[in-house]
């Protein structure tokens, strides 16, 4: 199977899945290395295809939106990361990404797609296992999350909970 056929097969697999597909699973199924899959995903994205990459796997973003989305600017140190994410989830929010502003590169964004405490725990465990720095470590802890809730009232609740806990970066 050549590269083009492999990328078409990847698209078939992603279209046929309801959830995310791990890169290692794609590599095993297509009998290539994980790095080849990373390159294939970059090529698919370069074609303008809505391939999303998360810590828990790849998926196609269909653009179907039912919820209310808002970018929330937060600030905290590494020790409070789990608390911040758990508060958002417990208030009915889903964390799509994290972004920081870099003085050279501009806005840097990483996809998170944290929808549940299980997703959150997997993310935190991977960060710990890999000893990976938070993206916000380059911006003094200041970062933003694209958060989605079912409606505006739920978003108001997320904001209020984050405000009371001191996470929102407001008037500092």
The tens digit of pLDDT for each residue in 84-115 reads: 999 999 999 999 999 999 888 888 999 898 99
**Binning pLDDT at 50, 70 and 90, where does residue 149 land?**
very high
Q: Domain residues of the chain, as ranges?
A: 3-60, 68-164
Residues 6+ apart with CB under 8 A from 28: none
Residues above pLDDT 90, as percent of the chain: 67
Q: Give pLDDT, residue 29.
A: 93
The tens digit of pLDDT for each residue in 7-18 reads: 999 999 998 887
pLDDT at residue 4 is higher than 70: yes
pLDDT at residue 46 is higher than 90: no
- Return d(Cα 119, Cα 100) in angstroms, integer: 21
Cβ–Cβ under 8 Å, residues 92 and 154: yes
Lowest mean pLDDT among 43-47, 51-55, 106-110, 147-151: 51-55
Architecture of the domain whose range is 3-60: Orthogonal Bundle (1.10)
The tens digit of pLDDT for each residue in 24-41 reads: 999 999 999 989 998 888
pLDDT at residue 45 is higher than 80: yes
pLDDT at residue 171 is higher than 60: no
**Of 67, 82, 93, residue with least CA distance to 159:** 93
- Domain 68-164 adopts which CATH fold? 3.30.1340
């Amino acid at each position: 199977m050549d590269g083009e056929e492999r990328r078409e097969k990847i698209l078939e697999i992603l279209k046929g899945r309801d959830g995310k597909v791990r890169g290692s699973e794609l590599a095993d199924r297509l009998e290539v290395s994980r790095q080849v899959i990373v390159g294939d995903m970059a090529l698919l994205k370069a074609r303008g295809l809505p391939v999303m990459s998360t810590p828990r796997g790849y998926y196609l973003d269909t653009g179907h939106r039912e919820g209310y989305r808002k970018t929330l600017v937060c600030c905290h140190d590494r020790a409070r990361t789990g608390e911040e994410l758990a508060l958002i989830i417990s208030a009915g929010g889903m964390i799509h990404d994290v972004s920081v502003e870099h003085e050279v590169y501009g806005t840097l964004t990483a996809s998170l797609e944290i929808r549940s405490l299980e997703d959150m725990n997997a993310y935190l465990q991977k960060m710990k296992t890999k000893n990976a720095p938070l993206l916000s470590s380059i911006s003094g802890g200041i970062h933003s999350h694209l958060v989605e809730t079912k409606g505006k009232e739920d978003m108001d609740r997320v904001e209020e909970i984050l405000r009371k806990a001191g996470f929102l970066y407001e008037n500092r």
